Amino acid sequence: MKKILITGGAGFIGSHVVRRFVNKYPEYQIYNLDALTYAGNLENIKDIQKHSNYNFVKGDIVDEVFINELFSIHNFDGVLHLAAESHVDRSIEDPLAFVKTNVIGTMNLLNAAKNQWKNNFEGKRFYHISTDEVYGSLGAEGLFTETTPYAPNSPYSASKASSDHFVRAYGETYGLPYVLTNCSNNYGSYHFPEKLIPLFINNIINNKPLPVYGDGNYTRDWLFVEDHAIAIDLVFHEGKNQETYNIGGFNEWKNINLVTLLCEIMDKKLGRDTGTSQKLITYVKDRPGHDLRYAIDASKINKELGWKPSVTFEEGLEKTISWYLNNEEWLKNVTSGSYKDYYKKQYS
Ligand code: NAD
Ligand code: TYD
């Protein structure tokens, strides 16, 4: 029996990873460690909370004493580290919060794993889930590869770059067995409606303005979150130690084109006249330091581990929109803040 720690499992991507691991690996005990910040929502994983191989631990990765204790109690065999402050706009408002969780929090986990494993690294693995934003911004041409130099532009990406460097340094200095992945923008169910796609779906439902930053000609490479979870599973089990893999959707969209497509699908689904949602598009002041373009070359993970996205963007977006329309209760609980009561009801 293996004990696996997954951090940030009440968040967007983490909830998909926890669900996959709990369902697919009954032989593992999964420990979901999450501080339940504004982005953590236990409703995201309520379908698996009663499974016998699932354990929830509420706690903050910034708390060094608590993290050391947790490792000494459980002596985890593997760590999948997803807990983070993840929103670029928030990082512009409060960069220090990002340093605390993303840098110090990652350091605490690295130290705890290193000390607990005491140089006996057989069968152990530390997996840091990171972002393509560490590479900075592309111009019109080219793709990020695993050897693209780091050039983070936002406080969020600077904090993730810093934690990536520490993970790599612990591998070099102490021999800690690690894997690292840098993934492009995810979309799908349980996505907190502060990020582009869920925010705009929610605003369309409620006839609210769609705030497009700047001229809308910024490009992102979108990946369906369940495909990211599949890739994470594969890298955790079959990736090579001390390696980085880029993960991406081979799926670039300018924001304004994506938003236009979203408006068209939403009009159809909601039975509204064509063009209704598009009228909600409002160009607003640009994000400071806004990266022009992200695009991933995911050929390494494809060649070495055989991964590629399983759904097209059209399929993934259709599934995502249908999920939000069928789960308005979830959306309402999140936007009203009442999702915070779920922990109290279930665990106290
Ligand atoms: P999210 O914001 O939805 O979830 C983050 C989770 O971490 C939440 O459940 C939150 O409660 C928890 N958390 C935050 N601070 C914590 C702390 N101090 N201690 C314990 N738990 C804490 O984030 P996400 O979008 O699911 O991203 C997960 C990971 O994947 C992050 O590391 C992010 O950098 C990375 N990533 C995200 C994307 C994306 O498109 N969302 C793309 C590539 C990589
Ligand atoms: P976001 O979902 O915040 O992800 P990231 O900043 O990590 O790429 O934003 C995706 C793109 O959409 C990015 O170019 C910023 C833009 N955007 C808007 O135009 N309006 C919005 O309200 C938001 C949240 C994002």
d(CA 84, CA 154): 15
Note whether residue 305 is domain-resident.
Answer: yes
d(CA 257, CA 86): 24
Note whether residue 338 is domain-resident.
Answer: no
86 lines ligand 1 (CB under 6 A): yes
Farthest CA pair distance, the chain: 64
* Catalytic annotation, residues: 132-133, 156
199 lines ligand 2 (CB under 6 A): yes
Residue 179, token pair as written in the block: 């894997």
Distance 130 CA to ligand 1 centre (A): 10
Residue 241, token pair as written in the block: 């130690």
**Cβ atoms 67, 101 nearer than 8 A:** no
Instruction: Looking at the CA of residue 86, tell me the nearest atom of ligand 1.
Output: 2
Note whether residue 103 is domain-resident.
Answer: yes
CATH of the domain at 114: 3.40.50.720
Radius of gyration of the chain, Cα coordinates, nearest whole angstrom: 20
Query: In terms of C-beta density within 10 A (0-12 exposed, 13-18 middle, 19 or more buried), how is residue 37 classed?
Result: middle
CA-closest residue to ligand 2 atom 17: 196
Note whether residue 272 is domain-resident.
Answer: no
Q: What is the DSSP letter of 301?
A: H
212 lines ligand 2 (CB under 6 A): yes
**Cβ atoms 282, 213 nearer than 8 A:** no
**Domain range for 167:** 3-189+224-251+291-311
Instruction: Looking at the CA of residue 88, tell me the nearest atom of ligand 2.
Output: 6
Instruction: Looking at the CA of residue 60, tell me the nearest atom of ligand 1.
Output: 19
Q: Which H or E run includes 212?
A: strand 210-213
The count of domains in the chain is 1
Give the model's pLDDT for residue 188. 98
200 lines ligand 2 (CB under 6 A): no
Note whether residue 317 is domain-resident.
Answer: no
Per residue in 34-90, pLDDT (tens digit) is 999 999 999 999 999 999 999 999 999 999 999 999 999 999 999 999 999 999 999
Note whether residue 232 is domain-resident.
Answer: yes
pTM score, whole prediction: 0.98
d(CA 212, CA 214): 7
d(CA 42, CA 45): 6
Note whether residue 316 is domain-resident.
Answer: no
Per residue in 154-213, pLDDT (tens digit) is 999 999 999 999 999 999 999 999 999 999 999 999 999 999 999 999 999 999 999 999
Note whether residue 266 is domain-resident.
Answer: no
**Cβ atoms 122, 211 nearer than 8 A:** no
**Cβ atoms 304, 169 nearer than 8 A:** no
The residue to mutate among 37, 226, 301, having the most atoms of ligand 1 within 8 angstroms of its beta carbon, is: 37
Query: Which ligand is in closest contact with the Cα of 35?
Result: 1
